[in-house]
Structure formats: C-alpha cells, structure tokens
C-alpha cells in the first residue's frame, strides 16, 4: 500500500469509528506505531483528527469553523489575531506550534506549559530580528503603546537597546524570569486589561 493510500485509509477509519487507538491502527494496517504517528501528523495539522487520551479522535465538526482555537493565526491565550511583528511563538516538545499575540500572552502561555516548551521565539521590537525568548530582554511600564494586551510587554534582543529604549520612553527592563514574575505581580495588582483573562 502506498503511503498516500494508507493515510487515506487511516482517515476513513477514524471517520467511521470516531475514536481509535494508535495500536488498533497499527494492527489493522500492519505497520509500526511509529509509521501511524507519522501518517497522523498531517491529518492532525489539517484539523481532521485530534489527539485524545491514548489515541485519536475525528474532529471534522470543529474543522468547519475556520477559526477554531487551533488556528495558527489567533492567540492561544486571548484569541486575538496574531500580528507577526509582535508574535511570540512557542514550539512544544511534540513540535506543535502555538502562537501568542504578544509577549504578554506569550509569557503567560510559556509559564502554563512549563517544561513542555522546546523553544520560544519572539521579535526584537526595534529591529524585528528573531530572538530566543529565554535570552530576550523585556520592557514593561513604558509609555509607548503597542495596542495589544495590558500590561504590555515589549521584547528586545540586546539589553543595551532595551535600556536605551527605557531611557527615551520610560519603563523597566527585565530578563525572562523577572518579566514573567513582574507580569503576574502586575496582573494581581491591577487586574488585566485583556477581557479574556478574567
């Protein structure tokens, strides 16, 4: 059986039965579970099936609404449309990519996921270069409004640039850990400006 045929077979099987275990699929199609996992990947990405406990579930119903929560263009925390310039991208250990609209939501999600984050990427606010979130510098309480979630968080590649930015526009510079702490502290003090966090 060609891989393409097998993938279609898998798709049909899951659609018929709604729920299937990886081991069932592996037995029926006489291929390894690893092959099944590989075949399932595009189906999961296209939204036809979703992973469930110990297996996979048919999920075309959800797929009918173009903006399900899994859409890569909406923020995983607040469902806001993601603008690439401010985006905070999280790659989980299973290679699943989650998008957050800005570093505010990105830091919140990053903390929720904990050790399930393989890599997190954001952008330098001034130069738009791609930076690793763990080594980025975070500016909060600045006077510049980025028009996303409150309290807002801006990201910089270089500490020096962040410091200069703060000199001109006010605010404070934090590293990754301190920024996460400060964000939670501020949200506790003032509540969040983002309605979805309530």
Residues near Zn ion (CB under 5 A) are 75, 77-78, 80, 101-102, 105, 148-149
H/E segment holding residue 56: strand 55-58
Residue 170 backbone dihedrals phi, psi, to 5 degrees? 80, 170
Contact 179, 153 (CB under 8 A): yes
Query: Which CB atom, from 88 or from 174, has the smaller least distance to Zn ion?
Result: 88
Query: Which CB atom, from 80 or from 110, has the smaller least distance to Zn ion?
Result: 80
What tokens appear for 33 in the block?
């579970």
To Zn ion, the closest distance from the beta carbon of 100 in angstroms equals: 5
Q: What number of other Cβ atoms are within 10 A of residue 116's Cβ?
A: 12
- How many CA atoms are closer than 13 Å to the CA of 6, on its beta-carbon side? 18
Query: Which CB atom, from 59 or from 74, has the smaller least distance to Zn ion?
Result: 74
Residue 86 backbone dihedrals phi, psi, to 5 degrees? -105, -5
To Zn ion, the closest distance from the beta carbon of 103 in angstroms equals: 8
If phi > 0 it is left, if psi is from -120 to 50 it is alpha, else beta; for residue 12 that is alpha
To Zn ion, the closest distance from the beta carbon of 105 in angstroms equals: 3
Query: Which CB atom, from 105 or from 179, has the smaller least distance to Zn ion?
Result: 105
d(CA 97, CA 120): 9
Query: Which CB atom, from 83 or from 126, has the smaller least distance to Zn ion?
Result: 83
To Zn ion, the closest distance from the beta carbon of 106 in angstroms equals: 8
To Zn ion, the closest distance from the beta carbon of 104 in angstroms equals: 5
Q: What number of other Cβ atoms are within 10 A of residue 130's Cβ?
A: 10
Query: Which CB atom, from 119 or from 150, has the smaller least distance to Zn ion?
Result: 150
d(CA 163, CA 137): 9
To Zn ion, the closest distance from the beta carbon of 94 in angstroms equals: 22
């Amino acid at each position: 059986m060609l891989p393409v045929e097998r993938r279609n077979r898998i798709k049909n099987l899951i659609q018929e039965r709604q729920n299937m275990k990886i081991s069932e699929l592996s037995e029926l199609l006489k291929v390894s579970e690893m092959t099944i996992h590989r075949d399932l990947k595009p189906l999961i990405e296209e939204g036809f099936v979703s992973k469930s406990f110990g297996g996979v579930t048919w999920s075309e119903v959800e797929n009918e609404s173009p903006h399900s929560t899994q859409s890569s263009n909406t923020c995983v925390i607040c469902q806001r449309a993601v603008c690439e310039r401010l985006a905070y991208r999280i790659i989980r250990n299973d290679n699943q990519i989650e998008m957050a609209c800005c570093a505010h939501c990105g830091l919140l999600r990053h903390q929720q996921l904990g050790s399930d984050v393989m890599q997190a990427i954001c952008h330098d606010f001034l130069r738009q270069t791609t930076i690793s979130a763990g080594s980025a510098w975070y500016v909060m309480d600045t006077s510049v409004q980025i028009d996303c979630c409150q309290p807002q968080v801006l990201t910089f590649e270089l500490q020096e640039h962040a410091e200069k930015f703060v000199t001109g526009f006010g605010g404070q510079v934090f590293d990754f850990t301190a920024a996460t702490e400060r964000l939670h502290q501020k949200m506790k003090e003032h509540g969040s400006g983002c309605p979805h966090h309530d």
